[in-house]
Structure 1
Amino acid sequence: MTFSVSARCARTGMFGIAVSSSSPCVAARCAHARAGVGVVATQNITDPMLGPKGLDLMASGLSADAVMERFREEAPHFDYRQVVVLDREGHVAFHSGARTLGTHAVAVGRDVAAAGNLLASTAVPEAMVAAFEAEPEAPLGERILAAMAAAVAAGGEEGPVHSAGMLLVDKVGWPVADLRVDWTEGDPIAELAGLWTLWQPQMDAYVTRALDPSTAPSYGVPGDK
């Protein structure tokens, strides 16, 4: 039901994750990231609790591999889960349980991992990683969205997807981007890319408004003087 890409920008230290699914509101359940810590993607028969738990464990100093080992030891019903953990060093650990649905696969590259289930083919995650790695100097959001577009071009899911989301974290205690298409009969990944085109030029200004409003640019809306 789901494919995702979890990634780190080695140049800036930003982390991000994007995910798409046939089910509604996929990013609310599956996408988890924390600035300076890492990323957790929890999908298939999803346990959203694994996201915050994995991030807390990484914040305490555990590596991606150590977090995954803890999950294998402690997480209930772990054979139903597909999970990717990416830590602050860009190291990746992944798990696709015995009850992962349909055709499923995981591919890992430098500072990136892509995973999916109920896929059109096992080549989909490989295409996602290749697209992410193709433009190493591009902003992380663009690289992640390129990976999602590559998933669609490679066949994506067996059936249509209806929701998508992208979460980016960088230096502050809240997401600098939390973009979601919770349901559409159209193309959720294209709609997500449209939200990114709208949000990216304003993203840094909203961080400045939170940290130091006196230096922030004007809002540019009627009544703002």
Structure 2
Amino acid sequence: MTFSLVARCARTGQLGVGAVTAMMGVGKLATYAQPGVGAVASQATMNPYLGIDGLRLVSSGLGADEALRRLIREDPGRDVRQAGFVDRHGHSAAWTGDKTPGWSGHICQKDVATQGNRLVGRETLEETLRAFREHSELDLAERLLVALEAGEATGADKKGALSGTVYVVDTEEYPLWDLRVDHADDPAKELRRLFSESLELLIPQVKALPTRADPLGEATRQALAEHDAAP
């Protein structure tokens, strides 16, 4: 009931997930990413532990393919599951169970995997990948968004779309981007609106937060300077 992509930006090392679906609130349980580790999408009859345990296994040193293979082997509901993995090295892997709604399938390439079920056809995934590949100059969040827009333009989910998400991690343990549209007539369009607004109003604030390398952070530094300069 979803199409998604998991991806790594080879230029920045950022990792992320983008998804659009006919269910409400896809961003709540379908997307997982950890900086310097990997990203996972869990969908169809979703199992959140494919994301949670998948990142744990990749963090322990397994590649995306081996981590996914191990989890699927141990999952009694594997036939109705779908998942996509990408690790920090750009290795990707995906799984589509035999009993997921048709059309269903996945495509894996270097730095990206895209997967979907109950789609109009394979063209949704092909267009998603094409757009992702053709816009490597963009930062990962917008690149994911452009790919989702291209997939949606094919018709995507045969029952339409209700929610969408773009989730990206950079160097910190908190996300750089966490866009969620939980219920909308056109979630891809609403994601684009939120992206534009966040780029101007929110992302500069996120980039000014404390980091592991800079525990003070630029926003705190500026606030302290303004306080000390006040009469």
User: In 2, distance between residues paired with 1:74 and 1:90?
Assistant: 24
Asked if the contact 1:2–1:43 (Cα under 8 Å) also holds between the matched residues in 2, the reply is yes
Change (3 A) 1:217 1:114: farther
Q: Which residue of 1 aligns with 2:194?
A: 195
Q: Which residue of 2 aligns with 1:68?
A: 68
Tell me how far 1:64 sits from its aligned partner: 0.6
Q: Which stretch shifts more, 104-113 or 38-47?
A: 104-113
SS at match of 1:209: coil
Cα displacement string for residues 179-207 of structure 1 (whole angstroms, at most 9, x for unaligned residues):
101011x2101101111111123314323
Tell me how far 1:141 sits from its aligned partner: 1.1
| Aligned pairs for 1:164-203 within 5 A | 164-184=164-184, 186-201=185-200, 202-203=202-203
Q: Which residue of 1 aligns with 2:142?
A: 142
Gaps of 5+ in 1: 219-225
User: In 1, distance between residues paired with 2:135 and 2:19?
Assistant: 20
Cα RMSD of the aligned pairs, angstroms, is 1.6
TM-score (ref. length: structure 1)? 0.92
Matched, 1:111 2:117: no
Matched, 1:210 2:216: no
SS at match of 1:138: coil
Cα displacement string for residues 7-61 of structure 1 (whole angstroms, at most 9, x for unaligned residues):
1100000011111111110111111111111111110011112111000100111
Tell me how far 1:154 sits from its aligned partner: 1.6
Q: Which residue of 1 aligns with 2:122?
A: 122
Matched, 1:57 2:57: yes
User: In 2, distance between residues paired with 1:20 and 1:55?
Assistant: 22
Change (3 A) 1:216 1:40: farther
Q: How many residues align?
A: 217
Q: Which residue of 2 aligns with 1:160?
A: 160
Tell me how far 1:155 sits from its aligned partner: 1.8
User: In 2, distance between residues paired with 1:216 and 1:168?
Assistant: 26
SS at match of 2:196: helix
User: In 1, distance between residues paired with 2:122 and 2:133?
Assistant: 18
Asked if the contact 1:25–1:181 (Cα under 8 Å) also holds between the matched residues in 2, the reply is yes
Q: Which residue of 2 aligns with 1:223?
A: none
SS at match of 2:115: strand
Asked if the contact 2:94–2:108 (Cα under 8 Å) also holds between the matched residues in 1, the reply is no
SS at match of 2:176: strand
In structure 2, what residue type is equivalent to 1:117?
N
In structure 1, what residue type is equivalent to 2:194?
L
Asked if the contact 2:92–2:110 (Cα under 8 Å) also holds between the matched residues in 1, the reply is no
Cα displacement string for residues 144-177 of structure 1 (whole angstroms, at most 9, x for unaligned residues):
1111011111221111110011111010011111
Q: Which residue of 2 aligns with 1:222?
A: none
TM-score (ref. length: structure 2)? 0.89
Q: Which has the larger radius of gyration?
A: 2
User: In 1, distance between residues paired with 2:126 and 2:20?
Assistant: 16
User: In 1, distance between residues paired with 2:127 and 2:157?
Assistant: 13
Matched, 1:37 2:43: no
SS at match of 2:48: coil
In structure 1, what residue type is equivalent to 2:108?
V
User: In 2, distance between residues paired with 1:106 and 1:217?
Assistant: 48
Tell me how far 1:214 sits from its aligned partner: 3.1
- Runs of 4+ with deviation above 4 angstroms: none
Gaps of 5+ in 2: 212-216, 225-231
Change (3 A) 1:217 1:36: farther
In structure 1, what residue type is equivalent to 2:192?
A
